[in-house]
Copies of this chain bind each other. A is one copy, B any other.
Amino acid sequence: MSPTPPAAAPPPAATAAPGGPTRERILAAATHEFAERGYDGARIDAIGRAAGVNKALLYYYFPNKGELYRGLVLEQIAAIGRQLAAADEDELPAPETLTRMIEAIVDLGAERPAVPLLVLREVLNGWGHLRDEDFPGLFATARPIADTVARGVAAGAFRPVPPLYAHLMIMGAMNFFLVSAPARARGSRLVGQPDMDPDPRAFARFVSDLVTRGLAVDPAASTRIPHPGATA
């Protein structure tokens, strides 16, 4: 507020558009573009334009399209790992933890819509844009759900199912739900069914109910977990 020159502020380049340092703006624009159009559909030019710079500057910060893509995919996927791990902080019983993880997935989808898109696109691609050394990191992301299911099985709360199956089912269902919103929107608009775009939290509740009930050893033992904010 005072005329005092800011001491440690970054170089206030006259051209610098709002939204942070150039590199970050490029990264954000690229994340959006790649998520929306896929690797092959994304255009370097469009990324530059969205970031308020031109191609040449983009190549000043990143070696090429592939490395730009790879870097941001790894970053976004790491976010899933953090989110999932955070859902297990309290070390609650397996069913509650699973419920939290499923909620964490839709929350992340709301915060970072690019994540499920990038994940699904890259899975379709067989992780074709990642290097071998990236895989240990990927696996860290796959573990939380599987580990939680395994814990539930060990504790006698869940039937003895392969934890990987549960992981695939949950990730598949949640990611599909998250990425299909635009497709469903167009569909319902064209057929006039307003029902087609459920609230993500409602869908998360449906899935966690289904999973905890479906995994319970004795179905009767599946104690209803009160959802925060549930009125009934």
As for how many copies of this chain the complex holds, the number is 2
Chain A interface size, under 10 / 10 to 19 / 20 to 34 / 35 or more: 35 or more
A158 to chain B, nearest CB (A): 11
Tell which of B123, B179, B190, B207 touches A179, judged by Cβ atoms closer than 8 Å.
B123
Q: Within A108-127, which residues are at the interface with B (CB < 8 Å)? A: 117, 120-127
Which of the segments A3-11, A66-74, A191-199 contacts the partner chain? A191-199
Which of the segments A13-21, A37-45, A76-84 contacts the partner chain? A37-45
Q: Within A148-204, which residues are at the interface with B (CB < 8 Å)? A: 161-162, 164-165, 168-177, 179-180, 182-183, 185-187, 190-191, 195-196, 198, 202-203
* Cβ–Cβ < 8 Å partners of A39 in chain B: 41
> Is A93 an interface position by the 8 A CB rule?
no
Provide the A193-232 mask, 1 if CB < 8 A to any CB of B, else 0: 0011010001100110111011110111010000000000
- Give bound CA distance, A125 to B161, whole Å: 34
Residue of B nearest to A126 (CB): B182
A127 touches B40 (CB 8 A): no
Give the 10 A-B residue pairs with the shortest CB-CB distance, closest first.
Answer: A219-B219, A172-B176, A214-B214, A210-B214, A40-B40, A126-B182, A40-B41, A172-B173, A213-B214, A169-B173
21 cross-chain CB contacts under 8 A: A38-B38, A38-B41, A40-B40, A120-B176, A123-B179, A123-B180, A124-B179, A135-B191, A139-B191, A164-B196, A165-B198, A165-B202, A168-B177, A168-B180, A169-B173, A169-B210, A172-B173, A172-B180, A210-B215, A214-B214, A219-B222
Query: Which A positions have Cβ atoms within 8 angstroms of B?
Result: 37-41, 117, 120-127, 132, 135-136, 138-139, 142, 161-162, 164-165, 168-177, 179-180, 182-183, 185-187, 190-191, 195-196, 198, 202-203, 206-207, 209-211, 213-216, 218-220, 222
